[in-house]
Amino acid sequence: MNMTQNPARSDPGLPDAPIHPKLRLAVVLGTNEIASAVAVFLSRFGRAVALTHDPLAPVIRRGMAFYDALYDDAPLIEATAAARIESASELFEIASREDQVAVTSLGLTDLLVLGPLDVIVDARMHKRGVMPRLRGLARVTIGLGPGFTARGNCDVAIETRPDRAGLVLRDGATEPQDSAPSQLGGVGVERFVYTHAAGRWRSALDIGARVFKGVILGHLDGAPVAAPIDGILRGLARDGAEMPAGVKLVEVDPRGRASKWTGIDERARAIGEATVRAIMLCESERMIFEPRSSLFMD
């Protein structure tokens, strides 16, 4: 195998990482907890993975996501690490390492210039708007959640609603978006705080902190924001983030010791596993891929 060294190393202190012109690259659109769980499973499945951040979809469940890698933090999810890249030339150095994925603010079009992609997964979980047509942009394209149609705007669609999470659709459309958030510990929309206007968010608290109803969690453009219920901070926008209007800013988990704010939760795990099954389904149908243990294409 003719390997070359990457001349565009972002850190001269790191060892040279081999690159290969036919690396099996999976691009995951989104940096939220679902996108991050998908990235973990794709990495385990032998794909080099890059997550692209969507600035229109703020991430609040940051303890379960690779989002903070964009700020040079070092998130770790079930032994998989993430590192920020600023250019496509850095991608192979990071994404080809075992148990590491790349996170970037580059868009999909910036990565398409690298050549044919193996997999694209749209995990942005948009609740409104028109979903893009992904089909034809990679060997396998997968849409997660409402707005996707298998054999329409993607090759395979996967349900994300809690009662159907992980259901793989080879034909037809996913179910529409629920009008209200799902229950967690018997609490629905009441556990969230939404932004009523756009503004800069400031908070000194961290994910996982215990809070009580009415306690001030931070300020949005100077206006105080209070905890909606007692519990554990499961979701909290990053300090200094510019928040649009009408999005989730805070989530409080009411389940006490059963609260979960790090790692991969049950729903995200089901979706991540389903993504790998969907790829295997396409492989078996098309018979054009190497065995799953291979990282490289012919």
Can you give the CATH number for the domain in which 158 is found? 3.40.50
Alpha carbon distance 8, 120 (integer Å): 25
Name the helix (H) or strand (E) containing 33. Answer: helix 33-44
pLDDT value at position 8? 32
Same domain flag for 29 and 73:
yes
Q: Is residue 59 part of a domain?
A: yes
Nearest CA to 285 among 166, 160, 158, 150?
A: 150
Same domain flag for 51 and 151:
yes
Same domain flag for 237 and 123:
no
pLDDT value at position 292? 45
The answer to whether 273 touches 83, Cβ cutoff 8 Å, is: no
Same domain flag for 102 and 40:
yes
Tens of pLDDT along the chain (298 residues) come to 333 333 333 333 333 333 344 478 999 999 999 999 999 999 999 999 999 998 888 999 999 999 999 999 999 999 999 999 998 888 878 877 889 999 999 999 988 888 889 999 999 987 666 788 999 999 999 999 999 999 999 999 999 999 899 999 999 999 988 878 889 999 999 999 999 999 999 999 999 999 999 999 999 999 999 999 999 999 999 999 999 999 999 999 999 989 999 999 999 999 999 999 999 999 888 754 444 444 444 4
Domain residues for 197?
A: 189-254
Same domain flag for 208 and 96:
no
CA distances from 200 to 205, 218, 219, 244, 247 (A): 15, 11, 8, 9, 13
**Tell me, what CATH number does 201's domain have?**
2.40.50.100
Residue 125: how many other CB atoms lie within 10 Å: 20
Same domain flag for 56 and 117:
yes
Alpha carbon distance 37, 166 (integer Å): 12
Tokens of 113: 């210039």
pLDDT value at position 4? 34
Same domain flag for 157 and 234:
no
Structural domains in the chain (count): 2
Q: Is residue 297 part of a domain?
A: no
